[in-house]
Amino acid sequence: MTTPPDFLASSPSPEGYFGEFGGAFVPEVLHETLAELRAAFAEAKGDSSFWKSYATVMGEYAGRPTPVTFCERLTDRFGGAQIYVKREDLNHTGAHKANNVMGQGLLVQRMGKRRVIGETGAGQHGVATATMAARLGLECTIYMGEEDIARQHPNVFWMRQLGAEVVSVTEGTKTLKDAINAAMRDWADSMDDTHYVLGTVCGPHPFPEMVTYFQSIIGIEARAQMLEVAGRLPNRVYACVGGGSNASGLFAGFLDDVSVELVGVEAGGDGIDTGRHAARLAGGQGQPGVAQGYKTVFLQNDEGLMQDTHSVAAGLDYVGVGPMLADLHQSGRVRFESATDSEVVDALRVTMESEGLIPALESAHAFAGAFKEAAALSASDVMLINQSGRGDKDIFTIADALDDEDWKAFIQRTAERYAR
């Protein structure tokens, strides 16, 4: 795909607003850096050779296009709509994150900077950023919450082997929002030679638009593939939503197709009624506010203090949501649902047993949302689920959630061996 995307039916205003959400609320020290980034991004978008070089890298290095897979046994199991899966798990580094970081890496080269920093929750963005830095010869620092480091240690291992410095963030809830805060502080001190590779469609303008631009490769591919493999567009398209980069990228390919219903699935955690969740839009749990450089819907109290979040999936354990998605929710173009931790683990088990696919816990939210609705549709209907990443990184969390005794014994033996 060598033609630059011209989709963005939900393009931001010149000030970076999607409806009432977005903007750039940053310290004065960052104004010039953001202006430089906006100018570089605008120039790159206007240069057809830039997108061509991006598409070439994604094809030759990342393995795009990723396929769409028809899931016959899942379709038979639920007895309703035909179920297809967009396979971002087959992208290099195992998730959709490579799409964004390689695009931003090429932009870094155009700007002549030599160091990149990033934040990560599930670790996939961190691994992708470290991979990009290794390929392009850039210094790399990744900020990650202490709690996420503990539950995503395989990805921490790979980041370090790829040459990145991984900084444990011990403030706040020690999860994604705190890693973003730490990365923003670093950027304010190092902006002359450093670019912040923000991993999702959040933060100050132009990040929400820019990340969607690179992730739109998912939706553009998926739309063409569905016409080829299914002979039609899907009735419903499902994606998990933390910050929302995989959802924004997938939905971008279908925004103008009003017959296609777009469904975002947030982290229901222990249940929305328990307060232990990360569902901002589903059920109307969030409120508009300004934090981390932009305006969107956050989980916050009446005084504007951010609430703690919970999800079995580290990548969805975030207090805000991308401003484009907040606007699409407000306009009714995207419907938002939630899936609890237990529903997600059940969906993961069913998907593994039925199709031999191992989605990441984040992606399993989209599967859970689709499975709850599949039987209500007819056999002539079609649904598409985005498998945004693979579950290798979640092996510790999944094994614990599945209460696997053999795995627990193995972990105990390993711990005892290293303690000696």
User: Phi/psi of residue 235, each to 5°?
Assistant: -75, -40
Q: How far apart are CA 256 and CA 342, in angstroms?
A: 34
Residue partners of 207: CB distance under 8 A and separation at least 6: 198, 201
Q: How far apart are CA 51 and CA 106, in angstroms?
A: 10
Residue partners of 172: CB distance under 8 A and separation at least 6: 178, 181
| Neighbour tally for 349: CB within 10 Å | 14
Q: How far apart are CA 153 and CA 149, in angstroms?
A: 6
Angle separating helix axes 28-45 and 207-229, nearest 10 degrees:
30
CA terminus-to-terminus distance, the chain: 54
SS3 state of residue 245: helix
| Neighbour tally for 256: CB within 10 Å | 11
SS3 state of residue 282: helix
For residue 100 the two structure tokens come to: 């964004």
Please pick, among 92, 96, 310, 329, the residue that the annotation labels catalytic.
96
Q: How far apart are CA 321 and CA 280, in angstroms?
A: 7
Report how far Cα 11 is from the mean position of its chain's Cα atoms.
19
Give every strand in the sheet of 334-340, ordered side by side. 68-70, 82-87, 382-387, 236-240, 261-269, 334-340
Known catalytic membership, residue 71: yes
Please pick, among 71, 140, 202, 240, the residue that the annotation labels catalytic.
71
Q: How far apart are CA 220 and CA 236, in angstroms?
A: 16
Report how far Cα 238 is from the mean position of its chain's Cα atoms.
13
Q: Which sign does the torsion angle of CA 123, 129, 134, 138 carry?
A: negative
For residue 149 the two structure tokens come to: 């480091």
Which of 88, 139, 108, 384 minimizes the C-alpha distance to 245? 88
Report how far Cα 409 is from the mean position of its chain's Cα atoms.
33
Question: Which amino acids are annotated catalytic?
Answer: 71, 96
